[in-house]
Structure formats: C-alpha cells, structure tokens
Amino acid sequence: MKDEIVVRELKNKETIPYNLLLIADPSKSNIDKYLSDSIVYMADFKGQTVGCYVLCNAGGEITEIKNIAVDEKFQGKGLGTFLLHDAIKRAKWSGFKKIIIGTGNSSIGQLYLYQKVGFRITDIKADFFKTNYNQPIIENGIECRDMILLTRDL
C-alpha cells in the first residue's frame, strides 16, 4: 500500500481536511491558529485522501509537526510511520536542523510511535491541555493534561 501513496501539498483552493485534522486535535479554533502559518501535506491512495500532516515553522532552524492523522479505516497499516518519515525527509530538504512534535501524556501509542522513528522526549508543558482545551480529554483511561514534546535531529 505504501508504494501507492502519493504525498502532496494541499493547494490554496482545496477544502481543508478538517475531518482528518480534528481526529488529531479536537479544537478547530486551535487548528485554525496554526494553519495560516503551515503547510498541509495530503496522503492520497487511489485518488482518495487517507491521511495528512501539517508542518509549521517553529522559529529558526526548527519545524514542528503540528498535526498528523490517518483515516481510521487505514490506521495500523504503517501509514503513520510512512508519513512521519516523509515529514522528516521534507524538513531536512527544506534546511531545518530539528523537527519537533507534541502529544498528550495519555497518547501512549503516539509516544511509542514517535520514539520508534527517532524522536526523544525533550520537554513537558505541564497542564497544557487543561489550560487550553474547554473539555477534559480522557484517553486510555487517564486524563490528558500535559503536553510531551519530542525532538529529532535532522
């Protein structure tokens, strides 16, 4: 399947894939804040968008994956890993020296996946989700409170 995935930039006039973006970040207002300074990359499979990720300049030589999402029907097939490697490759090509990604303390699978592709935990923003989101987020039976930041050298 990975051989048939085409990753491309979202064009200006195209519809923003909120259906995917919202599964990675439940706040549309939060998404809208970073989209204006970001590039959205779409992953198409046989003409259908099955995933996406968002790269946002984090200042200096650092870029951030703000959002990465795979359509539920296509999860667990290696696509998330493929998209992370694609983001790393594009960030390197663009001259960035570090790439960062943040996720919640409760996102156990994501923490596993990001470390598996070479990210290391470099910071924790305590109570980030409690402060910035109106509704409590419960995942894997625990409350999502803190943002775990992970970094990978390029």
Residue owning tokens 């995942």: 139
Q: Is 76 in the site for ligand ACO (CB under 6 A)?
A: yes
Least distance from ligand ACO to the Cβ atom of residue 94, Å: 18
| Spatial contact of 154 and 98, defined as CB atoms under 8 Å apart | yes
Q: Which of 7, 16, 22, 23 binds ligand ACO (CB under 6 A)?
A: 23
Q: Is 17 in the site for ligand ACO (CB under 6 A)?
A: no
Q: Which of 18, 109, 126, 142 binds ligand ACO (CB under 6 A)?
A: 109
Strand partners, 52: 42, 69
Listed ranges 1-9, 29-37, 63-71, 86-94: which one lies at the site for ligand ACO (CB under 6 A):
63-71
Provide the binding-site residues for ligand ACO, judged by CB under 6 A.
23-24, 65, 67-70, 75-81, 101-103, 109-110, 112-113
